[in-house]
Amino acid sequence: MAKKDEKNSTKKDVKKTAKKEDKKKNVKAEPEAMTQTQESEAINKDALALPASMLDDLAIATDFLVTAKAAVRNLAVAITETATPEVKKLLRRELDNAIDTHDKIAQYMIKKEMYHAYDIEEQVNHDLKKADIALELAKK
């Protein structure tokens, strides 16, 4: 019985020690994460020479543009798959709305110099800078 109690108390001591060490590790890990986040923000700002809010706007607008483009594609496919004239009419109306939405987003991005639709070289350079940022963030 004494050996059992001794083993149980030893296991408890080991668990307590492990918990304390885990807490110490967690405390040490948090400042590193903060530093990495700050470094990431600095890389983003420096790489495109844009304020962080502009990068957020760029990410949102790009995601919205891609989603609008997918909606156009999906509605066009749905029209070809539909036999009912009433449904086709509805889908065509929605397709027109989706095309208008896509155009509005693209024009907004062009106006804000987020998207260089008429200057392929500039757009490629812009995309390469964003790819470099992504690679830098992946390294950390």
Q: 38-94, pLDDT tens digit by residue?
A: 444 544 445 455 556 556 888 899 999 999 999 999 999 999 999 999 999 999 999
Instruction: Calculate the CA 119 to chain-centre distance.
Output: 25
pTM reported for the whole predicted model: 0.55
How high is the pLDDT of residue 32? 46
Segments in the chain forming alpha helices (H): 2-48, 52-81, 85-111, 120-139
CB atoms within 10 A of CB 22: 10
